[in-house]
Structure 1
Amino acid sequence: MRLWATRIGAGVPVVLCHGGPGLWDMFGDLAELLRDSAALHRWDQRGCGRSVREGPYTWERTLADLESVRRHFGLERMVLLGHSWGAQLALRYTLDHPERVSGLVYVSGTGIDPAATWREPYRRNFRARMGGRMARWSELEGRARSAAEERELCVLQWSVEFAGNGMAYARRMAKPWFGVNFACNSALNAEDRRTWGTAELGERCRACAVPALIVDGARDIRPRWAVDSLAEALPDVSRVVLADAGHLPWMEKPAEFRTAVTEFLIRVSAGQ
Structure 2
Amino acid sequence: MDQAVWTEDGTRLWAVREGDGEPVVFCHGGPGLWDMMADVAAALSAAATVCRWDQRGCGRSQRQGPYSVDRTVADLDAVRAQFGWDRVALLGHSWGAQLALRYTLAHPERVSKLVYVSGTGIDDDATWHVDYQRNLRAALDGRLARWESLRTRERTAAEDREYCVLQWSADFADRERALEHAETMADPWFGVNFECNTTLNSEPAPDLRGQCETLQVPTLIVDGTADIRPRWAVDSLERALPVVSRVQLPAGHLPWVEDPAGFHSAVTRFLSRP
With the shorter chain as reference, the TM-score category is over 0.9
Alpha-carbon shift at residue 189 of structure 1 (Å)? 0.6
C-alpha separation in 2, matches of 1:144 and 1:123: 21
Structure 1 residue aligned with 2:183: 171
Deviation digits for residues 114-157 of structure 1, max 9, x if unmatched? 00000111111111110010000001111111111110000000
Which residue is equivalent to 2:231? Answer: 224
Aligned partners of 1:103 and 1:212 also within 8 Å: yes
Distance 1:257 1:180 in 2: 27
Is 1:80 aligned with 2:86?
Answer: no
Amino acid at match of 1:232: R
Q: Aligned pair 1:188/2:194, yes or no?
A: no
Match of 1:234 in 2: 241
1:57-136 equivalent positions in 2, closer than 5 A: 57-136=67-146
Query: Structure 2 CA distance, aligned partners of 1:80 and 1:251?
Result: 19
Code of the residue aligned with 1:124 in structure 2: it is: R
Q: Secondary structure at the match of 2:46?
A: coil
Counterpart of 1:252 in structure 2: which amino acid?
E
Q: Which letter does structure 2 place at the counterpart of 1:254? A: P
Q: Which residue of 2 aligns with 1:137?
A: 147
1:220 corresponds to which letter in structure 2? D
Q: How many positions carry a matched residue from both structures?
A: 262
Give 3-state SS (helix, strand or coil) of 1:4's partner: strand
Determine the structure 1 residue equivalent to 2:4: none
Checking the alignment, whether the CA contact within 8 Å between 1:12 and 1:265 is kept in structure 2 is no
Letter in 2 for 1:117: T
TM-score by length of 1: 0.95
Indicate yes or no: 2:257 matched with 1:251: yes
4+ aligned runs moved over 6 Å, structure 1? none
Structure 2 Cα separation of the partners of residues 115 and 205 of structure 1? 17
User: Which residue of the partner structure matches residue 160 of structure 2?
Assistant: 150
CA deviation digits over 1:30-80, x for unaligned, max 9? 111211111110000000000001100011211110000000011110000
Check whether the contact 1:113–1:229 (CA below 8 A) recurs between aligned residues: yes
Distance 2:254 2:43 in 1: 13
Q: TM-score, normalised by structure 2?
A: 0.95
The separation in 1 between residues aligned to 2:228 and 2:47, in whole angstroms, is 30
Q: SS at 1:238's partner residue?
A: strand
Offset, 1:10: 1.1
Deviations 1:218-265 (A, max 9, x none): 00000000000000000000000002x000000110010000000001
How big is the alpha-carbon RMSD for the aligned residues of Structure 1 and Structure 2? 0.6
Which of residues 243, 256, 262 is equivalent to 2:268? 262
1:6 aligns with 2:6: no
SS of residue paired to 1:210: coil
Match of 1:54 among 38, 45, 64: 64
**Residues 33 and 254 of structure 1 are in contact (CA less than 8 Å); yes or no, is this contact kept in structure 2?**
no
